[in-house]
Amino acid sequence: MTIDHTSADPRFAGLPGRPGKIVAVHLSYASRAAQRGRTPEAPSYFFKASSSVAASGGTVERPAGTELLAFEGEIALVIGAPARRVGEDTAWDHVAWVTASDDLGLYDLRANDKGSNVRSKGGDGFTPIGPDLIDARTVDPGALRVRTWVNGTLAQDDTTAGLLFPLARIVADLSQHFTLETGDVILTGTPAGSSVVVPGDVVEVEVDSPATGATSGRLVTTVVEGPDAGFDAALGSLPAVDDTQREEAWGSRAAAGLAPESESEPVTLTPALRAKLAEAPVAGLSQQLRRRGLDNVSIDGVRPLHPDAKLVGTARTLRFVPNREDLFASHGGGYNAQKRTFDAVSEGEVIVIEARGEAGSGTLGDVLAIRAHARGAAGIVTDGGVRDLDAVAAVGIPVYTTGAHPAVLGRRHVPWDHDLTIACGGATVQPGDIIVGDADGVIVIPPALADEVADAALAQEVEDAWVAARVAEGHPIEGLFPMDAAWRARYIEETGR
């Protein structure tokens, strides 16, 4: 059903009218349950205010001073005939339409509501719905699909075959407790992939029936920065976040930038992962990290001695401190931290050196480069200088540096310690972080995100190549880069993605 978008109240342009009730399911997809580490035996629910409804094409505010606004793409059911104590076998007869929804929530306000989500999910604009309605009579409720894109990248993709509780069961269960009235809306839960969005992000949700081609169209919402939150502590609790809220809002500890809870969660750089990272461009990996909230992962100010060589490996770290003559006398000579690091580097590791951006001396020369190469190191990154530049380049190992300098280490540095968290080129690097470099530069990838980011970057490369081909054919950039709904539909049709 195509909605009349000239409705008196534009908030409800994606619905037949203003709903009396909006009921939402807490946890309903197996993929989401696996992500959360708990599987409910029966569905549980919460209410959302009808004043939270918004139409496609609108904006949603993230209040100033908050950080955890999360999207949840969902299938929305619109009740067409009152349902009270109906059975699962007849419940679907009471559903008139199916459409797309985004069950937005502000995790900063979640803790004190104990699951009711009154404040965290009741805000104005927190329930976009639409843009069009699918006739429930024409589709199989067990074969519907919901997909969500953030800034054009697919973030959620699941079908009702993955539900813990069939849609008809949810309708029947709710009807045991109260009358579902005509126009009421049921938000049926979100699959895995829900995560945090920030001002400037564009979220799109679509529900469709792959078997029939029926679709809700793309429900589009843009996140904007709201005014000062202005919450009054004298009236109620203030926004607050902790690592539990961050983990659940982002979808995982890794996505939230949190350390693993235990050392039993190591992520290794497998040959398959190494191959994907070697194929993915650093610019694309950087874009995907940014979409996951990680902006400060580039090692700035360094350039490659071999621009055509790809660098992929795990970090082994070395730290220099500013030269002080008495400390250099005690730490700079003999078998110091620098030499120990180059002697201990393992195959596939990248020696990352903190030199504070000080380019007034070398931080390594040809002998150390030869030793690292002989040990099978994947490369060297230093935010300081390199001595014997031509000889180091001739070794063949990928090296990134601020440039050449003839002076020895002791002019500016004391080799102090190794295998610890350091800063290199403005980026924090921990031992075991994944380092990737090409002609564009070097980035640091948290290991737990590497597979996800590599896959997303490679998928984006395919999309970008398709867009570039269209531009080469003479198409204008407007509407194509980024793709609007029409171009997106053509892309999906031609590529099946």
Quick: pLDDT tens for 389-407.
999 999 999 999 999 999 9
What mean pLDDT value characterizes the chain? 91
Output the 3-class SS for 350-380.
EEEEECCCCCCCECCCHHHHHHHHHCCCCEE
Residues 345-366: what's their mean pLDDT?
A: 95
Could you tell me if residue 256 is inside a domain?
Answer: no
> What's the CATH code of the domain at 345?
3.50.30.40
Question: 97 and 158 share a domain?
Answer: yes
Question: 440 and 469 share a domain?
Answer: no
Question: 383 and 460 share a domain?
Answer: no
Could you tell me if residue 1 is inside a domain?
Answer: no
Question: 466 and 425 share a domain?
Answer: no
Question: 433 and 466 share a domain?
Answer: no
What per-residue confidence (pLDDT) applies to 13? 93
Could you tell me if residue 258 is inside a domain?
Answer: no
Could you tell me if residue 264 is inside a domain?
Answer: no
| Residue 102, annotated as binding a ligand | no
| Residue 417, annotated as binding a ligand | no
Question: 411 and 487 share a domain?
Answer: no
Could you tell me if residue 316 is inside a domain?
Answer: yes
- Strand 95-102 versus strand 202-208 pairing type: unpaired
Question: 415 and 476 share a domain?
Answer: no
- Give the contacts of 177 (CB within 8 A, at least 6 positions apart): none
Domain residues for 200? 10-250
Q: Look at residue 47 and give its three-state secondary structure.
A: strand
> What's the CATH code of the domain at 46?
3.90.850.10
| Residue 388, annotated as binding a ligand | yes
Could you tell me if residue 257 is inside a domain?
Answer: no
Could you tell me if residue 467 is inside a domain?
Answer: yes
What is the DSSP secondary-structure string of 391-440? HHHHH---EEESEE--S-GGGTEEEEEESS-EEETTEEE-TT-EEEEETT
Could you tell me if residue 283 is inside a domain?
Answer: no
| Residue 368, annotated as binding a ligand | yes
Question: 84 and 221 share a domain?
Answer: yes
Note the pLDDT tens digit of each residue in 24-47.
Answer: 999 999 888 877 777 888 999 999
Question: 470 and 342 share a domain?
Answer: no
Residues 107-130: what's their mean pLDDT?
A: 88
Question: 438 and 472 share a domain?
Answer: no
Domain count for the chain, please give it: 3
| Residue 367, annotated as binding a ligand | yes
Radius of gyration of the chain (CA): 27
Question: 126 and 240 share a domain?
Answer: yes
Note the pLDDT tens digit of each residue in 417-431.
Answer: 999 999 999 999 999
- Give the contacts of 318 (CB within 8 A, at least 6 positions apart): 337, 338, 341, 351, 352, 353, 354, 415, 417, 418, 422
- Give the contacts of 302 (CB within 8 A, at least 6 positions apart): 381, 382, 383, 400, 401, 402, 425, 441, 442
Mutual angle of helices 337-344 and 366-374, in 10-degree steps? 30
Q: Which residues of 149-172 are buried (b: 16+ CB within 10 A; e: fewer)?
A: bbeeebbbebbbebbbbbbbbbbb
Helix (H) or strand (E) holding 311: strand 311-322
Question: 432 and 462 share a domain?
Answer: no
Instruction: Tell whether pTM > 0.75.
Output: no
At residue 264, does pLDDT exceed 50?
no
